[in-house]
Every structure is written in C-alpha cells, then in structure tokens.
Chain A
Amino acid sequence: MLTFIARRLLFLPVVLIGVTLLIFVAMSFLSPYQLVSTYIKSPEELKNQSLDDLVRKYGLDQPVHIRYMNWMKNLLKGDLGYSVSANMPVTEAIAKRFPATLELALFATIPVVMGGIWLGTISAKHYNKPLDHFSRVFAIVGWSLPDFVFGLILLMLFYGVLGWFPPGRLSMWADSIVLTGDFVRYTGLNTIDALLNKRLDIFWDAVRHLIAPVITLAYLWWAYLLRITRSSMLEVMNKDYVRTARAKGLTERVVMNRHVRRNALIPVATVSGSMVLGLLGGVVIVETVFDYKGIGLLTATGAQQLDYTLVLGTTLFYGLLLVLINLVVDVLYAIIDPRVRLE
C-alpha cells in the first residue's frame, strides 16, 4: 500500500508540470500587453511606467521557453499577480476565499457520498419494487434539473417565501462578531471556528446559510451516485461469487455488505473522481446563485470583469487541487480493490 502511494507521488510532479504547461499555453493566446497585468504585484508599480517598459521588464518580449521559466519562477514564489477585481494579490484572494469553498464542498461531499451510496443500495435491494421506482424518479429529476435553476427555486422558496435559509455566508450580526479580534479564526471554516470559539449561535447561523447551497450542489450528485451504485450493485448481485457467498451459509446481510457492496463500490470510486470535478465546477454556479463568497464567486466576478490575472490564477489553483484530489481517489481505489495495488 505504501509503495503504491509512494509510486503515485513520484508521478505527481510530472502531472503538475503538465497542468502548468496547459495553463501557460492558454495564457500565450493573450497579447503581451494584456499579459502584463498578470505580472504586476501591486498598483504602485504602474506609476511613471509605460506599458512597453513593463513588457520589457517582465520579459514578455522574450521567446516562449524563457517566458515559461520566468512564469514558473514567480509561481514557485507563490506570486500570481495582482487582481484588479478583488483589489488584492491573487494568492491572497484565493487564500481568503478558499476556506469558504472548502466548507461548502465538504458539507456537500459527505451527504452526497453517504446518501448516494445508501440510496443506491436500497434501490438495488428493492429492485423493481415501489421504493426502487421512487428513488429512480428522484434520481432522474435531480439529473435533469440544472443547478442554477434548482438553486434559484430553493432560494425563492426557502428565502423569498419562508425566510429560513438566507443567501451569503453569515448574517450581518454574526459577520461583525467573526471579524472582531475576540473570535479566533483557526481554520477559516465558519462552522468549525464557531464551535472552537464555543459560539453555538454563530455555528447555527453558518449552518443556516449552508443548507440551501449544499442541497443544490448535492442533489445532482446524489442522483448520479445513486444511479451508478444501483446499477453496479445489480450487476454484482448476479455474479457467481455472490452465489458462492450464499452457498457458504452467510447471512443475507453479510452477503450484501461484504461481497456485493464492496465490489459494487469499485466503479463508484472511479466516478467519484469526476464527481469531485463536477462539484468544483458546480461551486462556481452555486456560489453565484447564493452570493456565497468563495472561490467560485471570485472566479465568476473576475471573469465578468475580464480580470485575466485572477482567472488564470484560480484556474491554476483548480488544476492543482484536482491533481491532488485524483491522487486521493486513486489511493481510495487501491484500498477498495486490492488488484490495483498489486499491479
């Protein structure tokens, strides 16, 4: 197992260089004058300088490979340029906004994975019975409903009509407490920080703001995981080794949990990689709908204002994040399916 992870880690730099190359290629479609903006660290630099000077200063008139090396040097220093739309360096903006997105994604992933697999199992166990039909309809609706539509419906219903789940990350009063020095920001995740600061009222306020975006994000992927788990379970249930398990005299519960579900989870683990990818993409839309100040909303605002620096920076960040997530999924995969480990 450890050698598997180690070997997988050895591969990581290669993938990372690939990601940076791709983004660099995307960057080189911009003219040097547009690109200058991605190199500027603060607005002060623009004083008493002509654009041509800046182009020369940052080596944007140099050949491609030198430009790439320069860009990489800055990248390794954690310098992604200055974002006009966020009015701060890109790295700082990402560092500030990422906890919010992480919080949203965590709260969405856990119910998605648990709920999706659970519903899929139930659906498969009750194959072609009312419960199965019901969950299939539930899945088809979730799968066909675009998240921006579903999000708006939730917002209208639970905020506009009922007033239960407001948009944003925190209410005003909670926000003002969080920003004071008394409230220690351990992680940047509101819910966890609130618990660590023993402020249950703030915790509840943060949860209230999370419910609607989490449901929006989760529903689509619930539906997806439910369908994958269900069909995979049904396939495994007809496998000969499940019959063998019954012949051993195991109880039906053991047969289902130990033999059917574990084997059925292999394709589920495979798709969960693309699921996380979809979740991160969905975050952009969901955060915009619910005015939830995370990386998604940051990117969306940046794109609207043609803030190249920010968009390239967050894209790079997304890319690196995905590489890491895929690593985790691969390791998970090896845990579930021992055959992967040995090869």
Chain B
Amino acid sequence: MLDVKDLRKYFPITKGLFRRTVGYVKAVERVSFQVRKGETLGVVGESGCGKTTMGLSIMHLIQPTEGSIRLNVDGNWQDVNTQTIRRLRDKMQIVFQDPYSSLDPRMRIRDIVAEPLQAHGMKNRRERYERVEALLEAVGLGAHHMNRFPHEFSGGQRQRIGIARALALNPSLVVCDEPVSALDVSVQAQVLNLLDDLQEQFGLTYLFIAHDLSVVQHISDRVAVMYLGRIVEMGDVDSLFVTPKHPYTEALLSAIPDPDPDIVREKIVLQGDVPNPANPPAGCHFHPRCRYAQERCRTEIPDLKDINGQGHLVACHYAKELDLTGISRAETA
C-alpha cells in the first residue's frame, strides 16, 4: 500500500546575521518501511523522536530532504512527490493531532468537510452537502451540526469532524498523527473505536502515530518503535510487545502502567535525557542510556535487520543474545 524508502528530513540550524547553516537537526534519518493494505501500522516513540515529522513528510506537508515514498493506487505503484501529491491527496489523507487548532475557526463544518470535495472536482453544491451529511453520520455526528462553527464543539467532536474531513475524498491510506493524544481518556476510547469501525467499513489502511503504547497496542497490527529519528524495532504487535528485541522497546514497555496492583513489575528507568538530535551520539544512538551497552555500540551504528525471518526487525547488535522482558501474554489478550 505504502512503501517508504530511506526517508530523511533534516532541519537546518542557522546562526548569525546572514543565517549561515551551521548544522542540521536530523529529525528523520533513513526510515524505511512498508504498510500493507488494510493493516494498521503503529508508530511509537518519545516526544521529539520524529514521528510527526515522518508523518508530515510522507504527506508532503513538509518537504522531505531525501528518500522515496510510493503509494499503491489500484495495483500501480506511484511516486509521491511535489508534482504528484496534490493529485494523490484523494488517495492518502491525514488526521491531525490537535483538533482544537486544525479546523479553520471561521468556517462552518459543512464547508470544512466539503472543501476537499470541491477542490477535487465535485462541482455541484447540493451533491457536496449530501456527501458531507453522509460523512458526518458515519463519524457519529448529524446533519444538524453542518451549519455550526468549530468552536461550538467539544474536542472529541472536533476530532470526528477532522476524521470526516479526511475521509471525504475516500482515501485508501490515512495517516493518523496522534489523533487521540489531545483528548480525554474516555473520549480517546470512543474515537479509537470509531477509527476501528471506519477501517472495517471503508477498508482503510492506517499509519497510526502515537506516543501512548496502550493505544498503539489496541489499534495496531504491526508496530514500529522510533528513537531519535530512526526506527529501532518493528514487528507484529504481539511479538513486539511480548518478546521485544531492542532494549529501548523493553524500557518503554516496562513503563506501561498496570491496572492490577498485585503485579509487581520491574520498571526500567532510562538514565539521562534524549540526546540533542542536532548532535546525536556516535554509534548506536541509544547507547548512552542503554543498560546493555558494550564497546561495539559506541562506535558502530546497527542496521535494522530481520532477526527471525518472520518480519521482526531490530536495530541492535545484540538483539539475538539479549533476553528482554516484554509484557506477559495474558496482558495482550
């Protein structure tokens, strides 16, 4: 469905009177992955690890520095680039993180949702509004909401509007950029279930970006873990959560709060902060905070490799040797 190869996004750091470029923040560094038709690929990582930048680069809402992005449209692979992106926007859409700021405050809901239809050639206004009505109903809102303005809605409702807008053009791929992180926990569940239902109903493929592991576990078929702009581990949701192969994933998993107070689990507290992405540590970027780090980790950057031939990819020199703890099978059920 989506094939991303060696995607990079560098932000220049400028200094002084003439804005000389003195370095780059490597927000996304050589990221490659595929998303299969109909599945949900979850992407997790700490704040600032480049998840959102990656999502926006794929959508060409920011210009990627390098790399190829290809989208499968009815069996044909098409390059996504500056020239083709406007045409391909009806095939790939994005749901934004902040439902409060991502809707134009001056527009009525019907116009917010109808605008992409108009831009992609649906000329008849009545037809457009009929489609808007159907979309709003599909996301759990009604026709009576059409004439209102965004500020009259709650966060969850706004996100539903954002989803309706994304679905207006009948896309096959939807990038969900932390769609629930700005919402209350109770509303999060509703929106996640809605996304689940819509996926089934419209046969959607999701690239689901989040920092909440339980959300990702709930919605994803496969998961990619990002650290400092790179994917460090990727695999099926069960195998990654139960048998993580990267020390960073292990640490993240150990931080998931457990509803059962009797289960005492060892929490791995990572030492230090996320290093400055403008000046990442040599070798494996994770080594200064890794409790298994050895000499080799300080000098050599590990490649992302399939370790068991079943699509579980890890970027760690000692992935095979280490015996890491995930969450118990019971919890995945």
Contacts and interface: CB of A to CB of B under 8 A. Distances in A.
Contact size range, A: 20 to 34
A279 to B, nearest CB: 27
Interface string A43-79: 0000000000000000000000000000000000000
Contact of B89 (A239, A249, A338, A342): A249
A241 B94 CA distance: 12
Interface in A307-343: 336-339, 342
B23 interface: no
Interface of B: 56, 59, 61, 86, 89-90, 93-94, 96, 98, 101-106, 108, 115-116, 119-120, 149, 151, 162, 165-166, 169
B259 to A, nearest CB: 34
Contacts of B115: 245, 248, 250
Contact of A339 (B94, B151, B166): B151
A251 B121 CA distance: 13
Report whether over half of chain A's contact residues are helix, strand or loop; otherwise say mixed: helix
Interface in A94-129: none
A182 interface: no
A244 B119 contact: no
Contact of B59 (A247, A259, A336): A247
A244 B120 contact: no
Contact of A245 (B90, B104, B108): B104
B116 A240 contact: no
Contacts of A336: 106
Mostly, the B contact residues are loop
A249 B120 contact: yes
Interface of A: 239-241, 243-251, 254, 259, 262-263, 336-339, 342
10 contacts: A240-B101, A241-B103, A241-B105, A244-B104, A244-B162, A245-B104, A245-B115, A247-B59, A259-B104, A342-B149
A339 B94 CA distance: 27
Contacts of B59: 247
Given A249-B120, A339-B151, A342-B149, A243 B104 contact: no
Given A247-B93, A248-B89, A339 B149 contact: yes
Nearest to B59: A247
Contacts of B119: 248-251, 254
Contacts of B89: 247-249
Nearest to B92: A247
Contact of A247 (B94, B105, B149): B94
A336 to B, nearest CB: 8
A337 B107 CA distance: 9
Contacts of B103: 241, 244
A244 B96 contact: yes
A254 B120 CA distance: 13
Contacts of B165: 244, 248
A249 B106 contact: no
A338 to B, nearest CB: 6
A247 B116 CA distance: 9
Contacts of B86: 249, 251
A3 B257 CA distance: 54
A244 B108 CA distance: 15
Given A247-B59, A249-B119, 19 more contacts: A239-B101, A240-B98, A240-B101, A241-B101, A241-B103, A241-B104, A243-B61, A246-B61, A247-B61, A247-B89, A249-B86, A250-B115, A251-B86, A262-B106, A263-B104, A263-B106, A338-B106, A339-B106, A339-B151
Given A248-B115, A250-B119, A243 B102 contact: yes
A307 to B, nearest CB: 49
Given A239-B101, A240-B96, A243-B96, A248 B116 contact: yes
Nearest to A245: B104
A38 to B, nearest CB: 49
B105 to A, nearest CB: 6
B149 A338 contact: yes
B163 to A, nearest CB: 12
Contacts of B116: 248-250
A337 B104 contact: no
B90 to A, nearest CB: 7
Given A243-B61, A243-B102, A263-B105, A249 B90 contact: yes
Contacts of A250: 115-116, 119
A257 to B, nearest CB: 13
B57 to A, nearest CB: 13
A248 B169 CA distance: 9
Nearest to B97: A240
Contact of A244 (B90, B102, B149, B169): B102
B105 A339 contact: yes
A250 B162 CA distance: 16
A320 to B, nearest CB: 32
A263 B103 CA distance: 12
A262 B151 CA distance: 17
Contacts of A247: 59, 61, 89, 93-94, 96, 166
Contacts of A243: 56, 61, 96, 102
A333 to B, nearest CB: 12
A254 B86 CA distance: 13
A176 B108 CA distance: 58
* Pairs A-B, 8 closest by C-beta atoms: A249-B89, A248-B116, A240-B102, A240-B101, A241-B104, A244-B102, A250-B119, A249-B119
Contacts of B169: 249
Nearest to A249: B89
Contacts of B104: 241, 244-245, 259, 263
Contacts of A337: 106
Nearest to B94: A247
B178 to A, nearest CB: 12
A244 B115 CA distance: 11
A263 B105 CA distance: 8
A237 to B, nearest CB: 13
A163 B142 CA distance: 69
